[in-house]
Amino acid sequence: MGYGVRMIPDDELARAAAAGDVPAFALLTARHRAGMRATAIALLGYTDEVDDAVQDAVLTAFRRLPTLRDPGSAGPWLRAIVRNVCRTQLRARRPIPVAEPELYLPAAAEPRPDEMLDTADARDWVRHAVGRLSAPIREVVLLRYFSGFSSYHQIAQLCGIGVDTVGSRLRDGRRILARTLRDTAGEAYRTADAEAETHWALARQHFTTIHRGGYASVIEDWYRPDFSVMFLGALTGDRTAFGTLIDWTMEAGVVGTLRDVAGSDDVLVWEGAFHNPPESPDHCPPTFAWMLRLREGRVARIGVAYGV
């Protein structure tokens, strides 16, 4: 869809954006950014949180465009999203018990960024923006929005960082991601699906090799000599220790199946399920995740976490 010099009505932009037109979404939110910012200032005051709230609202609006029933009311709808984001931030200003880190962000049950719009252009746009984040920030963003291991506690375990660091990196990631999405709207990125299939093929190869008993050769070939494994947030060993962990699991008759894969450049997230043998039904937890960090094309570290 092309946009000339005429003033395009909000309803036309909103319909086009909901259909996957990225420039239309960028133009729509740019048009209302001043009003969104004024709404945030009214609730939060003149603080650094104002721009964060607006950027969070833009990402939320991108996810929820299909739910906008009246495209002509896009402006009030965007400002309502800002108000909800600000209320969440105001609640987060209260002292947060360590056991309740999730109050920092909206519930993880919301659609993930790769599900925001069901079009190739939108998927490519989002994945390209994620790929431009620094590796430490990209790790937590991939886990939070592109994986099932999205709680602060699980992210902290996989990345080997504190829960407070998870929160700060996510805030930085959302700010940068929102800006990158805005600045790159309309550019063509058509490699996301091919990159995703490459990540899946690599993960399938690993799991197939595990079940065939040849994982030692994969570790030797694909894992760096200085490779380390982080188990539940703590460094626990090297390549030999990781191979022993795999052997221990397989020798017990446990079968691991791949459920989901996410990745960007030198950061990969593999999720799977354990199927324990009848004689040892509690040998392994139901689900697991690996966070693989690559350096020069080989695995430098794996973070391991378990879920229910």
Q: Are 68 and 17 in contact (CB under 8 A)?
A: no
Res. 12: pLDDT tops 50: yes
Res. 294: pLDDT tops 50: yes
- pLDDT, tens only, 152-162: 888 888 988 88
Alpha-carbon gap, residue 261 to 263, rounded angstroms: 7
pLDDT score, position 263: 76
Identify the structural domains of the chain with CATH numbers, from first to last.
10-190 (no CATH), 193-307 (3.10.450.50)
Higher pLDDT, 24 or 80: 80
Largest CA-CA distance found in the chain, in angstroms, rounded: 71
pLDDT score, position 242: 80
Structure tokens given for 152? 């602060």
Alpha-carbon gap, residue 230 to 242, rounded angstroms: 10
Q: Are 235 and 160 in contact (CB under 8 A)?
A: yes
> pLDDT category, 77, cuts 50, 70, 90?
very high
Res. 300: pLDDT tops 60: yes
Structure tokens given for 31? 């048009």
Q: Are 136 and 160 in contact (CB under 8 A)?
A: no
Read off φ and ψ for residue 298, nearest 5 degrees. -125, 155
Name the pTM for this structure: 0.58
Using alpha carbons, select from 143, 159, 48 the residue that is nearest to residue 105. 143
- pLDDT, tens only, 265-287: 788 888 888 888 888 888 888 88
In the predicted model, what is the mean pLDDT of residues 232-246?
A: 77
pLDDT score, position 78: 93
Structure tokens given for 101? 């880190």
Cα end-to-end distance, the chain, whole Å = 45
Alpha-carbon gap, residue 256 to 286, rounded angstroms: 10
- pLDDT, tens only, 96-111: 333 333 333 333 334 4
- pLDDT, tens only, 169-200: 888 887 787 777 666 655 555 555 566 777 78
Burial of residue 197 (number of CB atoms within 10 Å: 0-12, 13-18, 19+): exposed
Res. 28: pLDDT tops 70: yes
Q: What is the DSSP string of the chain?
A: ----SS---HHHHHHHHHTT-HHHHHHHHHHHHHHHHHHHHHHH-SSTHHHHHHHHHHHHHHHHGGG-S-GGGHHHHHHHHHHHHHHHHHHHTS---TT-GGGGS--TTSPPGGGSSSSHHHHHHHHHHHHTS-HHHHHHHHHHHHSS--SHHHHHHHHT--HHHHHHHHHHHHHHHHHHHHHTTT-----HHHHHHHHHHHHHHHHHHHHTT-HHHHHHHHEEEEEEEEETTEEEE-HHHHHHHHHHHHHTT-EEEEEEEEEETTEEEEEEEEE--TT-TTSS-SEEEEEEEEETTEEEEEEEEEE-
> pLDDT category, 122, cuts 50, 70, 90?
low
Residues in contact with 126: Cβ distance below 8 Å, sequence separation at least 6, in sequence order: 113, 114, 116, 181
Structure tokens given for 131? 């790929």
